[in-house]
Amino acid sequence: MMRALVTGSAQGIGRAIADTLVGRGYGVVGADIQVQESAGFEVLELDVSDTGACRRAVAQLGRVDVLVNNAGVLVERPPESISDEEFDLTMAVNLRAPFVLSVAVSEGMKERRWGRIINISSVGARTGGISQSSAYAASKAGLLALTKNFARNLGPFGVTTNAVLPGAIATPMALKQFKNDRALERQVVAANPTGRLGSPEEVASLVAFLASDEAAYLNGTCIDVNGGWVMT
């Protein structure tokens, strides 16, 4: 049985990914700083901003065939209002943790000549985000560069690295954002050719494909899942 580690698995896209992979026969470990209720998979309490904890977690887990770097934080304030601590935390969770975890799992993947690393970025990586998500957008843009670099370095060993860029998805994080700005929600939905928000399950289905053997020739790709809201 293939073993997958999914960070940020307590809710939203991460929970949908974990549930989808379980349904497709993977042994899933869901890692999150939040308590995970009624999870149908192995749960691990992990603060991904702690690099030492990340490395220890991978060492304790042993074999990891699929890594999904999904955990993320979003500070919603204008750039001039974001503190140094908030900026550093955003980078630690959204960018440094994927780097640390990818390095940690890659050694075993290289030895087995098979592995999948899937980074959950954001449409904000392409657009620069909205006015109050500067640190988040910057971290997610950095994740695209990280994806391509790891793809180049690990590809010769049968390990692929790809990124998924969700747009407006009906997650607790997005719904909280829209609750504070209904005009933004109306604007986003109106600008989308599908006329709706996406679902976490739609993102999870793509992740499950990227984790499969069928996606073996996809490497270094950054795939948008936004209903045509942003086309590149």
Residue 217 CB neighbours (<10 A):
7
Tokens of 166: 């969700």
Q: Are residues 117 and 164 in contact, defined by beta-carbon separation less than 8 angstroms? A: no
End-to-end CA distance of the chain: 36
Residue 136 a catalytic site member: yes
Q: 32 in helix, strand or coil?
A: strand
Q: Are residues 27 and 187 in contact, defined by beta-carbon separation less than 8 angstroms? A: no
Cα separation, 21 vs 18, whole angstroms = 5
pTM over 0.75: yes
Cα separation, 119 vs 90, whole angstroms = 15
In the chain, the domains with their CATH numbers are 3-168+199-224 (3.40.50.720)
Report the chain's mean pLDDT, rounded to a whole number: 94
pLDDT exceeds cutoff 80 at 37: no
Residue 98: exposed, middle, or buried by beta-carbon count in 10 A (0-12, 13-18, 19+)?
buried
pLDDT at 174: 79
pLDDT at 129: 85
pLDDT at 131: 67
Task: Report the C-alpha dihedral over residues 76, 126, 162, 202, rounded to 10 degrees.
Answer: 70
pLDDT tens-place string over residues 169-195: 998 877 877 887 888 788 888 989 999
pLDDT tens-place string over residues 191-207: 899 999 999 999 999 99
Cα separation, 143 vs 31, whole angstroms = 19
Residue in 166, 161, 143, 47 with CA at minimum distance from that of residue 95: 143
pLDDT at 207: 98
Exactly one of 99, 136, 150, 178 is catalytic; name it: 136
pLDDT cut 70: percent of the chain above it: 100
Residue in 6, 8, 36 with CA at minimum distance from that of residue 20: 6
pLDDT tens-place string over residues 47-106: 999 999 999 999 999 999 999 999 999 998 899 999 999 999 999 999 999 999 999 999
Q: Are residues 164 and 198 in contact, defined by beta-carbon separation less than 8 angstroms? A: no
* pLDDT bracket for residue 132 (50, 70, 90): confident
CA distances from 114 to 31, 57, 208, 219 (A): 22, 20, 16, 13
